[in-house]
């Protein structure tokens, strides 16, 4: 299979870094099926359209428009971003226009390899306009690596409007290596719409994470679920602020579970706001260390203490 990095401007020593980042943030081992747009070091590097999905470069600011025709079923679009140089900072605006009666997968995400002494940063501002009776699965993974002293910074921002009887299912993962991230999400849901967010975050060292999520349930019989899981190690800090606003007969559930280790600090502030007597909203939050009996139980199965700890953490973030 033709490697996607062959479509990107290659340097003699850069291929392994590029392919490694693409694999971690988008599970790409070769050229993806369907539409895709690869952005590298501040500019477009590879693109493919299909009959159902069109990707256009914005004329007024950096970024792209992704237009998915009504009736598109079982199709995907990949739009990963990679940065392999130190000192690159960018803000990109991507708009998704998704028609009625669609069933599509969107794979986004950003990977930064910074081996220098200057900060490298990517701020992605995404807007999703989802039509009626559609199902959208959106996967976004963030990952940083590199031995330099320069920071790896990502500040993703998403707004979305989910049309009648449509579903927006978001998987948001920060795999590791990001020094600073400020994540902001605002989603509105129409009648019969459903929004599901599964957030998984790992922080270590002196990394800082802020996650600010708001879902507004405007339509009758709309639903929302936010499931946030995190692990904080070292001296890292995490702040979670998930909010559900119910303006009609609707249902929403927020659950935040965090494991705290070493000298880390975590704040979790779930909020529910009912503006209708028919709104049913629930929130739960828990922060704690790994229970000793969990470690011991796994050690009786032959694992070392370190292996048992890793097993517990990977299970939480799965």
Q: Per residue in 11-46, pLDDT tens?
A: 434 568 988 999 999 888 777 789 999 999 998 899
Query: What is the four-CA torsion angle of 32, 124, 24, 121, rounded to 10 degrees?
Result: 130
Q: Are β-strands 63-68 and 53-57 bridged in parallel, bridged antiparallel, or unpaired?
A: antiparallel
Angle at 141 between CA 135 and CA 143, to 5 degrees: 175
Of 281, 291, 206, 218, which Cα lies nearest the Cα of 244?
281
- Interhelix angle for 305-316 vs 292-299, to 10°? 120
Better pLDDT: 315 or 130: 130
Q: For tokens 């009758």, name the residue.
A: 220
Q: Which residues contact residue 130 at a Cβ distance below 8 angstroms, ignoring those fewer than 6 apart?
A: 98, 136, 160, 161, 162, 163, 166, 168
The confidence score (pLDDT) of residue 305 equals: 81
**Chain centroid to CA 234:** 23
The confidence score (pLDDT) of residue 64 equals: 97
Q: For tokens 């517990």, name the residue.
A: 312
Better pLDDT: 104 or 314: 104
Q: Per residue in 195-212, pLDDT tens?
A: 999 999 999 999 999 999
The confidence score (pLDDT) of residue 15 equals: 63
Lowest mean pLDDT among 80-84, 241-245, 252-256, 296-300: 296-300
Confidence of residue 75 (pLDDT cuts 50, 70, 90): very high
pTM, 2 dp: 0.91
Q: Per residue in 207-228, pLDDT tens?
A: 999 999 999 999 999 999 999 9
d(CA 236, CA 267): 12
d(CA 8, CA 26): 16
User: Measured between alpha carbons, how far apart are the two ends of the chain, in Å?
Assistant: 29
In whole angstroms, how far apart are CA 244 and each of 156, 159, 163, 253? Answer: 20, 15, 18, 8
Of 195, 259, 206, which Cα lies nearest the Cα of 235?
206
């Amino acid at each position: 299979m033709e490697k996607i990095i062959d479509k990107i401007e290659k340097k003699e020593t850069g291929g392994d870094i590029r392919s490694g980042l693409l694999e971690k943030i988008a599970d790409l081992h070769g050229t993806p099926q369907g539409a895709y747009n690869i952005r590298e070091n501040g500019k477009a590097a590879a693109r493919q359209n299909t009959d159902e999905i069109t990707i256009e470069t914005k004329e007024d600011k950096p970024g792209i428009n992704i237009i998915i025709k009504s009736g598109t079923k079982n199709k995907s679009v990949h739009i990963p971003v990679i940065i392999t140089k130190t000192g690159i900072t960018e803000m990109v605006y991507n708009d998704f226009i998704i028609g009625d009666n669609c069933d599509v997968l969107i794979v986004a995400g950003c990977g930064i390899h910074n081996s220098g002494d200057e900060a490298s940063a990517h701020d992605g501002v995404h807007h999703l306009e989802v039509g009626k009776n559609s199902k959208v699965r959106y996967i976004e993974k963030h990952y940083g690596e590199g031995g330099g002293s320069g920071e790896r910074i990502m500040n993703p921002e998403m707004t979305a409007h989910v049309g009648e009887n449509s579903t927006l299912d978001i998987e948001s993962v920060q795999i590791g290596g990001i020094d600073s991230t400020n994540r902001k999400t605002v989603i509105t849901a129409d009648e019969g719409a459903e929004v599901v967010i599964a957030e998984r975050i790992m922080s270590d060292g002196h990394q800082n994470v802020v996650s600010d999520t708001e879902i507004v349930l405007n339509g009758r019989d709309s639903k929302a679920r936010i499931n946030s899981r995190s692990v904080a190690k070292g001296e890292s800090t995490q702040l979670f602020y998930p909010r559900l606003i119910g303006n009609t007969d609707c249902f929403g559930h927020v659950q935040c579970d965090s494991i705290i280790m070493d000298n880390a600090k975590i704040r979790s502030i779930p909020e529910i706001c009912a503006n209708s007597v028919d709104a049913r909203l629930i929130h739960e939050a828990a922060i704690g260390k790994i229970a000793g009996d969990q470690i011991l139980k796994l050690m009786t199965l032959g694992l070392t203490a370190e292996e048992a700890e890793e097993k517990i953490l990977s299970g939480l973030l799965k």
